[in-house]
Amino acid sequence: MAWPTTDATTTALDSGTDDPNVARPQIKLNIENANAMANEFGTVDIASPQNEQLLQYNSAASKWVNATVSTGGGAIGSSLSVLTITGSPLSTENIDGNFRNPYAISEVSDIGSLVTISGTNSDEMAFSSGTYEVLFAGMRMTALGNPSSNDPDSIDVGFFNVTTNAAIIESFCEGRTGASMLGHFTSNGSDKFKFATYQTDGTFSTDWNFHVIKLS
């Protein structure tokens, strides 16, 4: 049912001398409004509610359920990792069928304990099980490459699942212009992820942040 939008009045209800017959339509409207709200949430199924949980509609089950903010309750700020790219490109390795150079990663903040950084060079990321959105912004080159090379002024950048050897998102940095990329991925809790570049004919800027948000 639609949420009620017509308010019942108290004009014929606020005095002991009011006529009940005149008040009857407003009493009826008030009951109808209450029924509409009850019917709207007639499928509420709250189990063991916990502090800071929210009421969320589950379309698959066709009912309202209690949900925590870290599993889709709506407070993105409670499930956010801010990471930074640091240092120089590491040794070349085969990632997604190409020879790429990963970069070391460090945490700026990790609200919700989403990420674990590992690897000999701190270049591997593992995320707790769930669905994520990753945003890279402000990527750029600080120096151009060798004009005699085939592609001197661009660098291929990407975010990869190195366990499955698959690209999550890729983009190009062209000259000194900025580049951004937005992607979504699912983690099983054990897969490893890396940020890496390819065809580095120029100098890639580091020490900038990227955000990883847990959606569900």
- Residue 142 pLDDT: 66
How do the domains of the chain map onto residue ranges?
Answer: 20-69, 76-214
Q: What is the mean pLDDT of the chain?
A: 83
Q: Which CATH number fits domain 76-214: 3.30.70.100, 1.20.120.790, 1.10.3430.10, 2.60.120.40?
A: 2.60.120.40
pLDDT at 118: 95
- pLDDT reading at 193 higher than 90: yes
84-125 pLDDT, tens digit each: 988 888 898 998 888 888 999 999 998 888 999 999 999 999
Please, which residues have CB within 8 angstroms of residue 172's CB and are 6 or more apart in sequence?
154, 155, 156, 157, 179
Cα-based distances in Å from 10 to 20, 25, 35? 12, 11, 19
Buried b (16+ CB within 10 A) or exposed e, 189-209: eebbbbbbbbbbbbebbeeee
DSSP 32: H
- Whether the per-residue pLDDT at 31 is higher than 50: the answer is yes
| pLDDT at residue 71 in the model | 45
Helix, coil or strand: residue 215: coil
Is pTM, for the whole model, over 0.95? no
Task: Say yes or no to pLDDT of 138 above 80.
Answer: no
pLDDT of residue 73 exceeding 50, the answer is: no
Which residues fall within 8 angstroms of residue 212, CB to CB, at 6 or more apart? 80, 81, 83, 114, 115, 127, 132, 133, 134, 135
